[in-house]
């Protein structure tokens, strides 16, 4: 999945406004006559800017800061296109041996981004702010996914102690990479017993209600997870890259583990540009 | 003083799967790529009567901080990442206790990391295992310095000295 039109419009819009605000700031401070208007208007404009120079400077500086922050938060479109290509290549390398239908629907590589504040964490199938979780608790939001067309919708809590989901646990644990597969993860389907659902939920750090909701909506439950925490500058936790699959283990495990670290290192360099 | 060549760590072997309990769930875990040292080396300093062990990483480039752990015993770590970059230990008269010294000091750092504000626990474990992997090569280098008279050991170091000093 590649970044959408909205992303591109927001990025280039913010860049244009930042440029415009910078130009106006320079014009106001250095030479108001840089703005091409007729002579009498120029004189009036010059007098007005000189009277309100401090206020203009503050407003334009704030506007530049805001637009620059938006640009840094959104990240350049080329970066997301590059990352989506890297994830697609990685996905193909790991799962290409499987059939096309399986390949598209049941084996995913997802990039989650950590955000301190999320107004409404989606995809949980229940009230998201239970158990002491709040919009400011810190959340992992899916931003790119290789496999299905959808980037994913489930937002996981990444609070220091109240994390949930396998990616939430990996984000908070000391070890940088974690793996989980059977026997801890039974095959979950419409016919699964309550005990199996509870065991699966416990082993994937989620509430059994979330699993029941997934079953009710016909969504598959993965039987294998491999997740790696992405650090930028070797220290700042940016997010998590996670493989989840309906297979009990990865079809090309050696290729996957060999490439997984490499992909993570490349991402940690690229994602420095997205604050 | 003479500096040795880097001894490269087999990171594939270093990063063997480990079982860990997270909450009450058993999970197979691995070191993160940023936690594993890529190479280890050592040097001797006859003037100060110390040996130094250094760790190198694939991604570096940060300011380093030296923290004194005891008499002629200190640690060099990354200012931002808190990763361990080096250890300074007293020279051992018998030379047979170099490894014991290094490993026990790394153990102490790992155990008391939270108390002393160094929270990169996985890195300290990875550094210890990386050192253990290449310790024969590093020790033989240090020994060759002794034999060539580059440095003369003067004081026997006690393995795992207390970590009670503040940073300098």
pLDDT at B59: 76
User: Distance, in angstroms, between B157 CA and closest chain A CA?
Assistant: 31
Which DSSP helix (H) or strand (E) runs through B68? Answer: strand B64-70
Q: Do A202 and B122 touch (CB under 8 A)?
A: no
Instruction: For residue A82, give both structure tokens.
Output: 């590059």
**Which one of B25, B33, B81 has the shortest CB-CB distance to A202?**
B25
Beta bridge partner(s), residue A144? A111
Cβ-based contacts of B21 with chain A (< 8 Å): none
> Residues of B near A (CB-CB distance < 8 A)?
17-18, 20, 22-35, 57-59, 62, 78, 80-83, 121-122
pLDDT along chain B (168 residues), means of 10: 72 88 89 90 84 86 85 86 89 68 83 76 90 88 72 39 37
> Which of A157, A168, A234 would you mutate first to test chain B, the one with the most B CBs within 10 A?
A234
* Phi-psi map region of B104: left, alpha, beta (phi>0 left; psi -120 to 50 alpha): alpha
Give pTM, 2 decimals: 0.82
Tens digit of pLDDT for each residue in A167-177? Answer: 999 999 888 89
Q: How far apart, in whole angstroms, are the C-alpha atoms of residue B5 and residue A200?
A: 50
Residue A63: its H or E element: helix A53-74
Min Cα separation A228/chain B (Å): 7
pLDDT digit string, tens, across residues B41-88: 888 887 888 888 999 998 777 888 998 888 888 899 998 888 999 999
Type and span of the H or E element at A67:
helix A53-74
Interface contact A180-B28, CB threshold 8 A: yes
Q: Quick check: A152 pLDDT over 90?
A: no
pLDDT, one tens digit per residue, over A93-149 is: 888 777 665 556 688 899 999 999 998 888 777 788 888 889 999 999 999 988 776
Q: Which of B22, B57, B82 sits opposite A173 (nearest CB)?
A: B22
Q: Report chain A residues whose CB lies below 8 A from the CB of B25.
A: 169, 180, 184, 202-203, 205
SS3 label, residue A182: coil
Kindly report the nearest CA distance between residue B43 and chain A, in angstroms.
26
Complex ipTM: 0.78
From B52, B47, B120, select the one nearest B86 (Cα to Cα): B52
A261 contacts in chain B (CB < 8 Å): 33
Alpha-carbon distances of B165 from B66, B73, B74, B104, B125, rounded to whole Å: 11, 10, 9, 17, 22
End-to-end CA distance of chain B: 23
Contact A176 B27 (CB under 8 A): no
* CA-wise closest residue to A201 among A216, A215, A190, A185: A185
Q: Is B28 in contact with A234 (Cβ distance < 8 A)?
A: no
**What mean pLDDT is reported for chain A?**
85
**Nearest-angstrom CA–CA distance, A75 and A73:** 6
- What integer pLDDT is reported at residue A52 of this predicted model? 80
Average the pLDDT over A248-272 and give the result. 85
């Amino acid at each position: 999945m590649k970044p959408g039109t909205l992303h591109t419009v927001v990025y280039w819009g913010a860049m244009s406004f930042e440029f415009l605000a910078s130009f106006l700031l320079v014009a106001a401070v250095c030479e108001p006559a840089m703005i091409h208007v007729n002579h009498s208007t120029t004189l009036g404009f010059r007098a007005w800017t000189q009277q309100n120079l401090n206020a203009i400077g503050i407003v334009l500086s704030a506007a530049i800061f805001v637009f620059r922050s938006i640009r840094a938060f959104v990240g350049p479109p080329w970066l997301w296109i590059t990352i989506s290509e890297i994830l697609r290549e990685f996905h193909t390398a790991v799962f290409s041996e499987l059939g096309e239908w399986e390949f598209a629907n049941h084996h995913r590589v997802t990039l989650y981004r950590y955000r301190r504040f999320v107004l409404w964490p989606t995809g949980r199938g229940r009230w998201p702010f239970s158990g002491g979780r709040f919009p400011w608790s810190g959340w992992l939001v899916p931003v790119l996914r290789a496999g299905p067309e959808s980037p994913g919708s489930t937002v996981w809590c990444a609070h220091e102690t109240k994390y949930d989901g396998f990616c939430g646990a990996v984000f908070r644990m000391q070890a940088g990479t974690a793996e989980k597969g059977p026997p801890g993860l039974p095959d979950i389907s419409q016919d699964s017993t309550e005990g199996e659902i509870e065991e699966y939920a416990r082993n994937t750090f989620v509430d059994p209600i979330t699993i029941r909701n997934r079953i009710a909506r016909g969504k598959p439950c993965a039987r294998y997870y491999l997740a790696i925490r992405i650090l930028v500058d070797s220290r700042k936790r940016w997010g998590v890259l996670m493989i989840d699959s309906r297979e009990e283990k990865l079809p090309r495990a050696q290729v996957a583990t060999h490439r997984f670290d490499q992909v993570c290192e490349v991402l940690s360099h690229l994602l420095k540009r997205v604050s | 003083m003479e500096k040795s060549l880097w001894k490269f760590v087999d990171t594939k072997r270093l990063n063997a799967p480990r079982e860990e309990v997270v909450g009450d769930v058993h999970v197979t875990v691995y070191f993160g790529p940023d936690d594993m040292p890529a190479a280890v080396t050592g040097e001797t300093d006859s003037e100060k009567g110390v040996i130094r062990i250094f760790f190198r990483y694939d991604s570096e480039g940060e300011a380093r901080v030296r923290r004194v752990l005891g008499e002629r015993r200190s640690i060099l770590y990354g200012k931002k990442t808190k990763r361990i970059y080096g250890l300074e230990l007293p020279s051992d008269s018998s030379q047979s206790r170099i490894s014991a010294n290094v490993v026990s000091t790394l153990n102490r750092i790992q155990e008391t990391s939270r108390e002393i504000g160094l929270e990169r626990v996985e890195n300290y474990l990875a550094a210890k295992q990386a050192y253990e992997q290449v310790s024969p090569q590093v020790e033989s280098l240090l020994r060759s310095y002794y034999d060539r008279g580059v440095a003369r050991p003067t004081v026997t170091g006690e393995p795992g000295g207390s970590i009670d000093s503040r940073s300098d």
